[in-house]
Structure 1
């Protein structure tokens, strides 16, 4: 009998479990639901579909392939029930999507998965989501993003994860966070920054050109501060470093910023050697 299409759901009597490009090209509805019998959505399955406005992924689907919905520029509503893995660039360039709820089932989101979603304002990881890593460039250039609720067990924010999210201001880091990689929050709209105790590494240019920041305190747990971490933060008046990091890179702040530290610490020596303004705690 072949495939039967009914209200946006493809059903197969041949026990296929992959929703592929061939099926995707046949989809013309504005509202699409992909569920049983499918377990996986194939690479490029509905790439550049400009008709779809609402997409519901049913509990049976566990994996979404590379570029599966890339360039679906009119997609406004997305439900990811039961999905465990979203591969590279799967939803890149979905420029009408305004909110994104990441369910507790979704543990692995690969590079560029939601990059350039220029209308999204809020991203929320569901309570009990156990993701420990945000992959490189996942939310890069979501330039209207204002709020991100991070997973409770997060340990690492990858390179350029929130690169040029220029309106991002609402963010609270979980206590489990250990590492912020290079350019992770490059040119964000942060006005306040509360880094958690337990953080160990802040990599190169992690907060470069966050021009709204005025004060930052780096926890004593931090052992590595990369180069240019807060460089270009033109309004940053005070950077407080009460600990004694093992590694401190070049030009961590602009000349106009005052670094507060403990007298005789490595940071004190760093300030003297590099002619930075210094105050003692």
Structure 2
């Protein structure tokens, strides 16, 4: 059995000559900012033993185009791929143990167009896909319960089907997703944060058939119509917010 070898924190940070790193076969941890601000150009092949990729491990790699996480990865750190502006594809392999996509993970990955989420994902945290300007399609797993603040801020998502178990949409979760037209809020949602769908200029209808415990101000533009039940708390909310409504 080969000895375990991890990649230490800041180990190769700023190494502009590093184009194609090869991780040790028994590696379990890639340290904090280990490869940040390098010039990695090819897919980094992660060993099947890898369990943790720490904060900012590959941030600011502006030539990296693809990431494939093996099923063994349980934890991906905050701002892990922040400002990887050439990154186009992210895939979590079948059987992934990852349950959370953390804060700022793919922040401003402006070429990112394809994401295959872990099947058992529970949470997408704040600004995880902030200003991913090519992300037009997403398929959210049914296990997802939380979408954090500004998680998909200014993404050009064209259609959105929220999972039936989703409970929380934090403030500005889908702010500025200008290509959305119709969104249904499942009855599982208890928290709908401020401006959750504000700035979605093409959004025609937001359907809410129940009364969430909390609904923040300005969840949509005034040009959008809320479809709700007459006499419901959402009906009263629309009256206070001066939003158009249509009864179901």
Q: Structure 1 residues 75-84 or 157-166, which shifts more?
A: 75-84
Which stretches in structure 1 are left out of the alignment for 5+ residues? 1-35
Aligned mates of 2:84, 2:150 — CA distance in 1: 19
Question: Closer, same or farther in 2 for the Cα pair 1:182/1:129, shift >3 Å?
Answer: same
**1:68 aligned to 2:34?**
yes
Among 193, 197, 200, which residue is 2:167 paired with?
Answer: 200
Mapped partners of 1:38, 1:45: distance in 2: 16
Q: Does the 8 Å CA contact 2:5/2:24 hold for their aligned counterparts?
A: no
CA distance in 2, matches of 1:75, 1:44: 19
Q: CA deviation at 1:215?
A: 1.1
Does 2:114 align with 1:155?
A: no
The one of 75, 78, 89 equivalent to 1:108 is 75
Contact 1:203 1:225 in 2 (8 A): yes
* Preserved contact between residue 169 and residue 189 of structure 1 (Cα < 8 Å): yes
Matches within 5 A, 1:180-199: 180-199=147-166
Distance 1:40 1:74, change over 3 A: closer
Give the equivalent residue in structure 2 for 1:11: none
- The structural deviation recorded for 1:184 is 0.7
Deviation by residue 1:214-245 (Cα, 9 ceiling, x = unmatched)? 11111111111000001111111111111221
The question of whether the paired residues in 2 share the 8 Å contact of 1:86 and 1:110 is answered with yes
Aligned to 2:12: 46
Q: How is 1:105-144 mapped onto 2 (pairs within 5 angstroms)? A: 105-144=72-111
**CA distance in 2: counterparts of 1:252 and 1:57, whole angstroms:** 45
Q: What is the alpha-carbon distance in structure 2 between the residues aligned to residue 89 and residue 216 of structure 1?
A: 33
Tell me the CA shift for residue 170 of structure 1. Answer: 2.2
Give the secondary-structure state (helix, strand or coil) at the position aligned to 1:78.
coil
Pick the aligned partner of 1:243 from 210, 217, 221: 210
Q: For the Cα contact (< 8 Å) 1:202–1:224, is it kept in 2?
A: yes
SS at match of 2:21: strand
Matching residue of 1:209: 176
Contact 2:56–2:82 under 8 Å retained in 1: yes
- After TM superposition, give the deviation of residue 39 of structure 1 in Å: 2.1
Aligned residues: 246
SS of alignment partner, residue 77 of structure 1:
coil
State whether residues 55 and 77 of structure 1, in contact with CA within 8 Å, keep that contact through their aligned partners in structure 2. no
- Cα distance in 2, alignment partners of residues 164 and 48 from structure 1: 24
Unmatched runs of 5 consecutive residues or more in structure 2: none
- Measured after TM superposition, the shift of residue 163 of structure 1 is 0.8
Equivalent position SS for 2:235:
helix
Task: Answer yes or no: is the 8 Å Cα contact 2:21–2:40 preserved in 1.
Answer: no
Counterpart Cα distance in 1 of 2:114 and 2:37: 23
What TM-score, normalized to structure 2?
Answer: 0.96
Asked which structure has the greater CA Rg, the reply is 1
Q: Give the superposition deviation at 1:56.
A: 2.7
